Amino acid sequence: MLLDGGTVAAAVSLTELRARIEAHLREAVGPWVAVDSVAPLGGGACQELFAVSARLERDTHEPAALVLRSDAPSALWGSIGRDVEARLIEVARAAGVQTPPALWLARDLVRPGAWAYFMPRLEGETLGRRIVHEPRFEAARARLLEPLAEQLGRIHSVAPREGLLPEPGVSDSNHDPPRAALERLRQRLDALPQPRPALELALRWLEARAPTDSETVLCHGDFRMGNFVVGEQGLVAVLDWEFAHWGAPAEDLAWICMRDWRFGRLDRACAGIARRADWYAAYARATGRRVDPDEVRWWEVASNVAWAAGCVEQGERYLSGRSADIELLAIARRACEMEWEALRLIGRAGGFARA
C-alpha cells in the first residue's frame, strides 16, 4: 500500500514497518519491547507521521502511544532533516520549551536514507479550525496568549551557535536576519516554475523597507495555530520544528499573525484568538523585549510572500511526481490568497510612496 496518502517514493508496507520499528526499539530500549500497531496519521503535509502503539516497559501490558516522525521523500524549502530536528528539540527543551522529546533516532526505517524519531503522543487538539471555533475550547482560548508568549520567549532565549542548524555565519556580528530573509525569498522566487509578479512587487517593497539592527535568535519558523497542542484547559505543547532557523524575534511574532492562521477570525490577528496589541504586550512582558509594530508588519508581509511561495512549492511536490497527495494541489491553488494579503498589507502601510 501507499503511505502518506499515496507517497510515490519507495516506502515499506505497514507490516514491514511494524517489524522494523520493533527491531529498532528492541535495540534502543530493550529486548522486551513489543509493537502492537502502526497506522499512518493524516495532517502532516510535509512529514510522514505514524501512530505507533508499543509496550516499552518490561513488566507491563499497558501500551505507550507514540508518534513516529520521518523525513518525507520531498520537503519544502528550508525544511531541516529529522536528525537535525532531534538535536534542536533537545536544545529547545533545555531552554524550557514545552515540546515532546525526540526519542530513538533512526535511519532507513520508513525508506532508505530517511531519518525518523519517536515522540510520545500527546492528548489534545492540533487542528486550528477546531481550536479557534469550537465552544469546548472557549476556556483554553482565553488562556492561551500568555503561555504562547512565554514559550516563544524561551525559544528566542537560545542564542545563535554554529553547527546546530545548517546555516553558517550566524554567530557573526554582521548577521542580519532581514537581509538573510530577503536573500532566501529571492532564491525561492527564482526557483518557482512560473514567475509571480505580485510576489516580485512585494519583494521590492520589502527591500526598500528592511528593518535594521535586528537581533538574531532561534526562530521556531512555523509558530502558529496548527502546531500547538491545545487541551480544554490550555496549551499542552509546541510542535513541529521543521522550519527552525536563526532569525529575528519579530519574524515569529509576525508568522502567528498571518491571515491564513486565523481560521476566519480576521478580527483577532494573533492566531484567531487574540488581539494583535495584546499579543505584542504579552510577548513584551514575557521577554522584556520592545515590540516594534512596523517591524512585525514588515515580517508579516515577508511571511505572506514566503507562504505564497510555499503553496506553489507544495503543488510542485505533486506535479514533479515526488508525492501523490492531492491535498498539495489544493494548497497550490491558494497561493493567490497570500499574494493578495501581502499586497493588501503593503497598501495599508502606505504603499511604495512612503518606503
Partner 1 sequence: MLERPDPAALLEALARFLAEDLRTAVERPDLAYRLRIAAHLCGSLAAQWRSEPDESSRTRLEAEGMLRQLRAELPPGTAPDSDQAHRDPTVELARRIRTAPYDAAAFDALLAALREPLARRLRLRNPRFDLAERFEDD
- The yes or no reply on residue 327 touching partner 1 (CB under 8 A) is yes
Let me know: does 311 contact 332? Beta carbons within 8 Å: yes
Phi, psi of 105 (to 5 degrees): -55, 140
Q: Closer CB to partner 1, residue 292 or residue 327?
A: 327
Q: What is the DSSP string of 283-297?
A: HHHHH-PPP-HHHHH
Contacts of 156 (CB under 8 A, 6+ apart): 217, 218, 219, 249, 252, 287, 289
Distance CA 343, CA 305 (A): 9
Name residue 70's beta-bridge partners: 48, 116
Site for partner 1 in 112-141 (CB under 8 A): none
Task: Choose, by CB under 8 A, the member of 185, 253, 269, 305 that binds partner 1.
Answer: 269
Task: Choose, by CB under 8 A, the member of 143, 161, 285, 344 that binds partner 1.
Answer: 344
Task: Choose, by CB under 8 A, the member of 42, 113, 163, 166 that binds partner 1.
Answer: 42
- CA–CA–CA angle 100, 102, 103 (5° rounding): 120
Q: Which stretch binds partner 1 (CB under 8 A): 80-88, 99-107, 151-159, 340-348?
A: 340-348
Distance CA 296, CA 277 (A): 11
Q: Closer CB to partner 1, residue 195 or residue 288?
A: 195
- The yes or no reply on residue 294 touching partner 1 (CB under 8 A) is no
- The yes or no reply on residue 71 touching partner 1 (CB under 8 A) is no
Q: Closer CB to partner 1, residue 275 or residue 285?
A: 275
Task: Choose, by CB under 8 A, the member of 71, 222, 251, 325 that binds partner 1.
Answer: 325
Output the nine-digit C-alpha cell for 21: 520499528
Output the nine-digit C-alpha cell for 171: 554567530
Task: Choose, by CB under 8 A, the member of 31, 135, 197, 288 that binds partner 1.
Answer: 197
Output the nine-digit C-alpha cell for 130: 477546531
List interacting residues with partner 1 (CB under 8 A). Answer: 5, 40, 42, 194-198, 200-201, 203-205, 208, 264, 266-269, 275-276, 325-327, 329-330, 333-334, 336-337, 339-340, 343-344, 346-348, 351-353, 355
